[in-house]
Structure 1
Amino acid sequence: MSKTPSPCIDVCKYKRGGHCIGCSMTRDQKSLFKSLKKDKHRRAFVDMLIKQQAALGKFHAWPEIYARKCKKKRAPLPGGL
């Protein structure tokens, strides 16, 4: 089983109050995710991000794109998807 992939979906445009229009992460959050080594921390980060997206709204395409990314990398889907 592969480790949890980055929630980034390669859009990287920060137009929603400093949040990426593709994944909702801020630049600091993207740096933080890259520093996470343990998979349980990476999964917890993605779970937090799913809640952040729900609170911010307008991230309807992300779950499908991220699910494809997980499938391609043979990684389990986060519980919130």
Structure 2
Amino acid sequence: MAKTPSPCIDVCKFKREGHCIGCSMTKAQKSLFKELKKNKHRDAFVEMLVGQQSRLGRYKHWAPEYLKKCMKKKAKPVRAVRKAA
């Protein structure tokens, strides 16, 4: 199985109190994700991010874009992403 891809959807504009308008990650979270090597840790991070997006609001565009990214990289998306899409 392919490695869980980064939640980044290549928008990278930190305008919502330090959160990216594309994926909701902060710069610190982006750095942290890059350090995660095991898929179970990456999957848990993506699950956390979906919850964060739900709390922050205005991120309905993210899940469909991330699903496309997962399909392109032949990676199985975590369940929370499939539910959000």
TM range (shorter): over 0.9
Q: Please give the TM-score of this superposition, normalised by the length of structure 1.
A: 0.98
Which residue of structure 2 aligns with residue 4 of structure 1?
4
Which residue of structure 2 aligns with residue 48 of structure 1?
48
Which residue of structure 2 aligns with residue 34 of structure 1?
34
Q: Please give the TM-score of this superposition, normalised by the length of structure 2.
A: 0.94
- Gaps (5+ residues) in structure 2? none
Take 1:33 and 1:60, find their aligned partners in 2: how far apart are those partners? 21
Q: Alignment RMSD, CA only?
A: 0.5
Residue correspondences, number: 81
Take 2:78 and 2:56, find their aligned partners in 1: how far apart are those partners? 19
- The structural deviation recorded for 1:39 is 0.7
Which residue of structure 2 aligns with residue 21 of structure 1?
21
- Gaps (5+ residues) in structure 1? none
- The structural deviation recorded for 1:77 is 1.2
SS in 2 for 1:80: helix
Residue type of the partner of 2:22? G
Matched, 1:65 2:36: no
Deviant stretches of 4+, over 4 Å: none
SS in 2 for 1:15: strand
Residue type of the partner of 2:24? S
Taking only the aligned residue pairs, the percentage that are identical comes to 63
